[in-house]
Amino acid sequence: MPVTLKDIAQKVGFSITTVSRALAGYDDVAESTRQLILQTAAEMGYHPNATARRLRQRRTDTIGIIVPTSSTRFGDPFFGEFLAGVGDKAVEHEFDILVSTRPPEAGELRAYERMVLEQRVDGMIVISTRPQDERIAYLLEQNFPFVAFGRSDLEADFPYLDVDGERGMFQATEYLIGLGHRRIAYISAPFTFMYSYQRVEGYRNALAAHGIPFDESLMLAGDLSERNGYALARSLLTREAPPTAIIACNDWMASGVIAAARDLGLTVGRDLSVVGFDDVPLAQIIHPRLTTVHQPAYEAGWRVCDMLVKLLREEALTERHVLLQPELVVRESCGPPPSRG
C-alpha cells in the first residue's frame, strides 16, 4: 500500500491539510513543522498519487497522440524521430504522453473521442494532416486544445507547425533544372495527405519559374512504398522519351527508383538523377547516396510539443503557425542529364 498524506498526518500529528501545504511549499507553515513533515514524508517514501491530484486539479498534464499504425507512415523512422522529440520535450515540462494507435475498425475518431470526451488528456497532437481533416474539425468543434503537425485546407484557423514542403520541392526541382534537366518526373505521395499538395506545388512553381511547361504525363501518384517507387520508375524509364530526372515524395520511393534504374542498366547520378524527400537514415546508406530534402523530424516533434504545452498553460503562444525550412542535402544521386545520342 502506497503512503498517503493521511499516513503522514497520522504519524506527525498534524492535519492532512498542513501536511499537504508543507509538501506543496506554502509559506504559511511553521518552519519546524515543515521540516518534520518533509523528513517524515521522505522516510516513509511518500509520493503523491497522480490520479487523485488530477481529479482534484481538473487537469491531467497529459498530451495525447494517435498514430495510424496501418498507414505507411508508421515504422517510418521519421515518426520515431518526431515522437522522440515530442517525448523529450514532454519530460522537460513534466507532461505525460498518451499514445494510442488507431483502432482498426471504428475509424480513428473513436480514439480521439476517447481521449477528449473521457478527459484522458489536456491536449492533442494531430499528425499527418489531411485536406479536409475531420480530426481537426472535431477538435475545433469540441473546442479542445491541440497543435497539428501539418496544415489543412479547412477555413478555420488552428495552431500548427509544418515543414515547408513547397519550398523544399521548389529547391529540389530548381537544383535539377540548374544541372540542366528539363524532363523531370515527379512521383507524388497520396493525395490523402495535405503535404502532397504543397510539395507538388513547389515542383510546379519551380518549373514555371524556369519556363518549363508542366507535362502531366511526368507526374505520377505513388503510395510511399519502395515497391511502388520501383514500379512507377520502371514505367517512366521504359517510355519512348524517358525523363532524365525523377523526384520522389519520400526516400523509400526514391530508393525504389534507384533499384529500378539499376535493373535497367542505368547508372544513377550519370544516366538518371534521383531526388528524395525526408532524409531518413536510409538515404545515406543506399548506393549511390541519395540527394534528398531534409525534414527536421526531431525538431518538429519537440516544437509541436512545446507549442501545445504553452497553449495549455495559456502562456502567450508567440507563434500559432510555424513553418520550418527544410534543406536540400546534396549527395551523389544527381548529375547533369546525359547528352543526347
Partner DNA sequence: GTGAAAGCGCTAACAG
Partner DNA sequence: CTGTTAGCGCTTTCAC
> What is the binding site for DNA (CB under 7 A)?
2, 4-6, 13-18, 20-21, 23-24, 28-31, 33, 48-49, 52-53, 55-58
Contacting residue, 18, 40, 100, 188, with its own copies by CB under 8 A: 100
Cβ-based nearer residue to DNA, 6 or 262:
6
In this complex, which beta carbon is closest to its own copies, that of residue 85 or of residue 150?
85
Of the candidates 112, 106, 105, 130, the one whose C-alpha atom is nearest the C-alpha of residue 67 is 112
265 binds, among DNA, its own copies, none (CB under 5 to 8 A by kind): none
Closest CA to 335 of 294, 287, 256, 274: 274
Distance CA 131, CA 152 (A): 5
Report the C-alpha gap between 195 and 217 in whole angstroms.
21
Residue 114: CB minimum distance to its own copies, A: 8
Q: Which is nearer to DNA, 50 or 208 (CB)?
A: 50
Instruction: Rule CB under 8 A: choose which of 91, 208, 209, 330 binds its own copies.
Output: 91
How far apart are alpha carbons 112 and 120 in whole angstroms?
10
Task: Report the C-alpha gap between 240 and 224 in whole angstroms.
Answer: 26
Q: Give the nearer residue to DNA in terms of CB position, either 55 or 330.
A: 55
Give least dist CB 72 to DNA, A.
38
In the bound state with its own copies, the residue whose beta carbon lies nearer, of 205 and 225, is 225
Radius of gyration of the chain (CA): 26
The three-class DSSP label of residue 245 is: strand
DSSP-based three-state secondary structure for 67: strand
Q: Which is nearer to DNA, 55 or 91 (CB)?
A: 55
| 107 part of the interface to its own copies, by CB under 8 A | no
Q: Please, what is the minimum distance in Å from the beta carbon of residue 280 to its own copies?
A: 9
Choose the one of DNA, its own copies, none that binds residue 294, judging by a C-beta under 5 to 8 angstroms depending on kind: none
Interatomic CA distance for residues 155 and 305, integer angstroms: 24
- In the chain, what are the helix, strand and coil shares in percent, each to the nearest 5? 45, 15, 40
Collapse the DSSP code of 277 into the 3-class scheme (helix H, G, I; strand E, B; otherwise coil) and give the result.
strand
Terminal Cα distance for the chain, rounded: 83
Q: Which of these segments, 17-25, 150-158, 170-178, 285-293, binds its own copies (CB under 8 A)?
A: 285-293
Name the site residues for its own copies (rule: CB under 8 A). 2, 45, 47-52, 54-55, 60, 62, 67, 69, 74-77, 79-81, 83-84, 87-88, 90-91, 96-104, 111, 113, 117-120, 226, 252, 255-256, 259, 262, 281-282, 284-287
